[in-house]
Structures are given as C-alpha cells and as structure tokens.
C-alpha cells in the first residue's frame, strides 16, 4: 500500500504487455502504467476547486501516474439550478484552459469527469451538458462524452428530489473507446453506471477500462455504489475506475465518496473512504484482464443480440 497526506493509495500486482510507442507513458517501478483515481469535495467556489484539483494532480504526477481521473462536477457544485447554470462555461473558457495548461505542465493525461458545458443554444435556452472531457499530456482534447442518462429521482422518504433534465441536455451518443497510457478507455458519467447496456456496448467496442466519474448521493451511494461498480467490472471483465465527490458541498447537498478502483475479476483494489479528498494510485495489468477473458470467455458465450429480445410463451 502507498500512503499520502492526500489520502490512501492502492496497487495491484500485475504484469503488462508491450505498449504503443506513440503514447507517452509513465510506469511504476514494476513496469505497469499507473492511474490516479481522485476524490474531491467541490463547492460553488470554482477557484478553490481548481486549486484542490491542482494539488491532487501534482501529487499524482509526482508519484508516477500517467493518467488522472477526476469526478463528476470537478469544476463546481452549485447551490441551485440557477447558480449551476450561471457558473457554466464553454469548452473554450477559462476552466478548460487551466486544465489544458496543467496537463502540459505535468505531462499527464486527464479524465475530467463531468464539466458543466454550455449547450449549443445557450443564449436562448440556458441549458447545459454534463461533459466528460479527456485531455492528452499535451493539453489537447482527445474525446468528449456528454452524459446520456439524466438523474431524475424523487425519494421523498429519503429527502431526495433531483431533476437533472430540467436544465441538462442528454447526450445523443456513446463515444468509441480510445487508447490512453493506461489502456483503452470507455467513458460514462455517474447515473450511466445503472444502465448495463452502456457498459456492454463500450466493452464490445474494445474498452479495457470503464470509468464512471460520479457524485452519488449518500443514500444511493450507501445502497448501490460498490455493488454496481463491481457488477460492471465482472460482467464486462474490465477494470472500472470511479472517481467520486465526497462530503458536504453546501447546505443542500452532500456526496457519498468512496472513489473506487475495481479489477476485471470484481475485486476492489482501493477505496478512498467517505470522509475527505484523496486519491488511489492503481497499477493497471492488462495481461491479467486478458487472462480472465481467456479463461472465462463471456463474449464467446454470449448469444446473438436477437436472442435477448425474443421471448417465448412456452413453458
């Protein structure tokens, strides 16, 4: 185990095949690529959030991470829908510019898990996307996935009432998995985790790592967070990296925390806990993933797609 003033660190023993020379890689002393899975406590103060993320990313780079994963709403968590909209920016705004500079300076890839991006008709409609933006180590945006499932939930007995669709535009498509220093990554955001079809589509298209940057509520997190993440890892035989928000963001909202890394067998490699910001450093072993897929070839055993939509009334 690794430990730091910023949180607990976990690693998994593994070995790694040859990697594409076109990518810039940082490795652990064992030769495996390292991913940093971060946990934050964002507030409406964008500058304070930027400083907190900068501290985490600098620590990740210093400890050898080649890619760092930040949670949903890493930029801010507003006190109201009105404040959430007012604080939003375009991809060309100051927030993305600051993260682009950090990626270049630190020489690492960034998964920016849920940016409040102003929509295409912002001036007339005042609606946003929740955008998962990935930057390479040169600060260039290489992929953007816009959250496609809206968190519209009423749990009156639990005191939860959230209607994300009131001000958020759902994304219209998934994004093809793409090569990064730690493996081929498939993108989701938070509530997308609950829809296994999304993860399966990404796995079928080559994903080796699924990532679900999140801001789960304390109630839903305690009930479902770990079991959903482990299920997605097991059924897709992928690594699952899940950066998270934690703690009290303002008077009206708090998050469950417990940023997790799960291996393709469903084993939890590390947990950031539910109290404070921090990170996990995870060594990714793609040979282990391939071995699991070879020994239990789920995809070969899967029936044709039409089989799962063809129901019989025969007893």
What residue ranges in the chain does DSSP mark as E strands? 2-4, 7-9, 34-40, 67-70, 109-118, 128-135, 141-146, 152-155, 160-163, 178-180, 183-187, 209-211, 239-242, 244-250, 253-256, 260-262, 268-271, 278-283
Which residue in the list 59, 89, 164, 190 is annotated as catalytic? 190
157 is annotated as an active-site residue:
no
Which residue in the list 38, 59, 72, 272 is annotated as catalytic? 72
Tell me the β-bridge partners of 200.
none
Taking the C-alpha atoms of residue 182 and residue 136, their distance in angstroms, rounded to an integer, is: 12
Q: Decide if 204 contacts 66 (C-beta within 8 A).
A: no
Q: Decide if 101 contacts 139 (C-beta within 8 A).
A: yes
138 is annotated as an active-site residue:
no
Of 8, 60, 3, the closest CA to residue 33 belongs to 60
272 is annotated as an active-site residue:
no
**Sequence-ordered list of residues with C-beta below 8 angstroms from that of 52, at least 6 positions apart, any chain:** 40, 41, 42, 277
Element (H, E) at 52: helix 46-62
Which residue in the list 147, 164, 208, 238 is annotated as catalytic? 147
* Residue 92 to residues 28, 29, 62, 195, 213, Cα–Cα distance (Å): 34, 37, 28, 31, 22
Taking the C-alpha atoms of residue 238 and residue 235, their distance in angstroms, rounded to an integer, is: 8
Provide the pairing of β-strand 152-155 with 109-118: unpaired
Of 88, 246, 250, 72, the closest CA to residue 167 belongs to 88
Catalytic positions, written as ranges = 72, 147, 190
């Amino acid at each position: 185990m690794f430990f730091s003033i910023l949180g607990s660190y976990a690693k998994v023993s593994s070995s790694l095949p040859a990697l594409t020379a076109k990518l810039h890689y940082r490795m652990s002393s064992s030769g495996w690529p390292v991913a940093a899975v971060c946990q934050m406590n964002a507030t409406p103060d964008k500058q304070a959030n930027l400083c907190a993320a900068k501290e985490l990313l600098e620590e990740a780079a210093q400890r050898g991470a080649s890619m760092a994963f930040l949670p949903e709403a890493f930029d801010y968590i507003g006190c109201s829908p009105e404040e959430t909209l007012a604080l939003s920016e375009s991809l060309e705004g100051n927030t993305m510019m600051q993260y682009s500079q950090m990626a270049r300076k630190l020489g690492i890839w960034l998964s920016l898990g849920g940016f409040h991006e102003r929509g295409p008709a912002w001036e007339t409609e005042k609606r946003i996307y929740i955008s998962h933006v990935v930057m390479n180590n040169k600060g260039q945006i290489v992929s953007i996935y816009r959250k496609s499932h809206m968190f519209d939930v009423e749990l009156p007995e639990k005191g939860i009432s959230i209607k994300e669709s009131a001000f958020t535009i759902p994304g219209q498509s998934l994004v093809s998995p793409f090569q990064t220093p730690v493996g081929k990554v498939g993108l989701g955001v938070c509530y997308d985790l609950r829809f296994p079809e999304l993860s399966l589509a990404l796995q079928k298209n080559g994903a080796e790592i699924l990532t679900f940057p999140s801001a789960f509520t304390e109630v839903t997190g305690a009930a479902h967070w770990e079991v959903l993440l482990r299920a997605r890892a097991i059924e897709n035989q992928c690594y699952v990296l899940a950066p998270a928000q934690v703690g009290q963001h303002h008077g009206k909202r708090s998050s469950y925390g417990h940023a997790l890394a799960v291996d393709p067998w469903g084993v939890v490699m590390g947990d950031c806990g539910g109290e404070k910001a921090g990170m996990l450093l995870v060594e990714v072993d793609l040979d282990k993933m391939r071995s699991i897929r070879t020994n239990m070839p789920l995809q070969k055993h899967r029936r044709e797609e039409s089989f799962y939509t063809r129901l019989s009334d025969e007893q």
